[in-house]
Amino acid sequence: MYSESENTTARNKGNADHLHVRSVSCFIRTNDLHRKGEYHLLTITERGLPEELSTREELIAKFSFIWDSMRISKAQ
C-alpha cells in the first residue's frame, strides 16, 4: 500500500509550509507465527521536501529490496 501525505507540524520544515511524507506498507500474517487475529505491519517512510524524497517507484523498489531480504521465523 503506497500513501502520500503532508506534515504541517514538523519542527524541521524550515521556511516550507509543510513536509511531504511518502510511505509503503504491508500487513504480514502467517499461520505458523500468529494466533487468530494477529499480524505485523512493515512500513518504510520518507519525510522531507519533494525534491529530497524518492519517487513513488523508487520507494516501492526500496521496500521490495527490504521485503526480499527479510526472513520471518519464530524467535528461539
pTM beyond cutoff 0.75: yes
| pLDDT confidence tier of residue 63, bands split at 50, 70 and 90 | very high
Triad 28, 30, 36: Cα angle to 5°: 100
| pLDDT confidence tier of residue 75, bands split at 50, 70 and 90 | low
3-state percent helix, strand, coil for the chain, nearest multiple of 5: 20, 35, 45
Q: Is the pLDDT of residue 23 over 80?
A: yes
45's grid cell: 517512510
pLDDT of residue 76: 61
